[in-house]
């Protein structure tokens, strides 16, 4: 596993964009980058997901809480997928995978193609030479492999006659390790829910269960406000 001192690199000299969703992993990544890089540009890509308004609100609050002179304002990009996904649960909010569902149930087709292609183009057009995102080592999806990131980066760089590097500094970490790295951060302001209720985590979806279990496994008090509290996790 990656040591806590291997990211961010010491005294990086170039600006960095961070593809941020508002979840635990990308939020901790964003905070760590903001402490070290000379300029950090958080990027959020709106695709029309049912949870986006609440996710964005949490992300902006988190950014406000960790504000430093190096952390630039959030850039919100648009790439709607309703013409691709149709009545998919991620857009409609119906049939959302619950707390008993496997990880595979939350697969969003081509999600990293959509998000990262837009982020890479933003970097090219704004002269930012690197973009970081936060897939973890247990990510089971085909658009989170080293081969995928290398191939997509090559294609976009070829299209733009330039070079933007894709960084995945947490690719050897678990969610428990990410929580431990960020335990002093305002993690209450992060968001990991597929079916929010009045701006709160629902407490019944796949992502709420994953989040709650990770805090328990890390031995860190879960600061999340759930609309329906999850039962204690057996230790």
**Digitized pLDDT (tens) for each residue of the chain, 235 residues in all:** 444 347 888 778 899 999 999 999 999 999 999 999 999 999 999 999 999 999 999 999 999 999 999 999 999 999 999 998 999 999 999 999 998 898 888 888 889 999 999 999 999 999 999 999 999 987 788 888 999 999 999 999 999 999 999 999 999 999 999 999 999 999 999 999 999 999 999 999 999 999 999 999 999 999 999 998 877 765 5
Tokens 């990770």, residue? 214
139 found inside a domain = yes
220 in any annotated domain: no
**What per-residue confidence (pLDDT) applies to 4?**
38
**Structural domain tally of the chain?**
1
Residue 98 lies inside a defined structural domain of this protein: yes
- We report the CATH number of the domain holding residue 77 as 3.40.50.620
Q: Is 178 left (phi over 0), alpha (psi -120 to 50) or beta?
A: alpha
Name the residue range of residue 29's domain. 16-185
Residue 33 lies in a domain: yes
3-state secondary structure the chain: CCCCCCCCCCCCCCCEEEECCCCHHHHHHHHHHHHHCCCEEEEEEECCCCCHHHHHHHHHHHHHHCCCCCECCCEEEECCCHHHHCCCHHHHCCCCCECCCCHHHHCCCCHHHHHHHHHHHHHHHCCCCEEECCCCCCCCCHHHCHHHHHHHHHHHHHHHCCCCEEECCCCCCCHHHHHHHCCCCCHHHCCCCCCCECCEECCCEHHHHHHHHHHHHHCCCCCCCECCCCCCCCC
In a domain, residue 36? The reply is yes
Please state, in angstroms and rounded to a whole number, the distance separating the CA atoms of residues 56 and 25: 15
Contact between 96 and 89 under an 8 Å Cβ cutoff? The reply is yes
For residue 231, tell me if it sits in a domain.
no
Q: Is residue 191 part of a domain?
A: no
pLDDT score, position 3:
42
For residue 196, is it within any domain? no
């Amino acid at each position: 596993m990656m040591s806590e001192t291997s990211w961010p690199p010491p005294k990086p000299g170039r600006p960095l964009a961070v593809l941020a969703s508002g979840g635990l992993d990308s939020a901790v990544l964003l905070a760590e980058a903001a402490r070290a890089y000379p300029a950090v540009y958080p990027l959020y890509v709106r695709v029309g997901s049912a949870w986006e308004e609440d996710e964005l609100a949490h992300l902006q609050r988190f950014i406000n809480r960790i504000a430093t002179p190096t952390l630039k304002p959030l850039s919100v990009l648009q790439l709607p997928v309703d013409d691709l996904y149709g009545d998919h649960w991620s857009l409609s909010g119906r049939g959302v995978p619950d707390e008993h569902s496997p990880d595979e149930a939350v697969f969003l087709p081509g999600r990293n193609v959509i998000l990262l292609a837009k982020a890479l183009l933003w970097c090219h057009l704004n002269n930012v030479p690197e973009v970081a995102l936060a897939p973890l080592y247990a990510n089971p999806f085909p658009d989170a492999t080293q081969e995928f990131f290398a191939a997509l980066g090559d294609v976009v760089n070829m299209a733009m006659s330039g070079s933007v590097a894709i960084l995945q500094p947490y690719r050897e970490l678990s969610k428990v390790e990410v929580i431990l790295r960020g335990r002093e951060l305002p993690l209450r302001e992060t968001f990991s829910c597929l079916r929010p209720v009045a701006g709160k985590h629902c407490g019944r979806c796949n992502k709420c269960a994953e989040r709650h279990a990770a805090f328990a496994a890390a031995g860190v008090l879960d600061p999340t406000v759930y609309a329906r509290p999850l039962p204690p996790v057996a230790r």
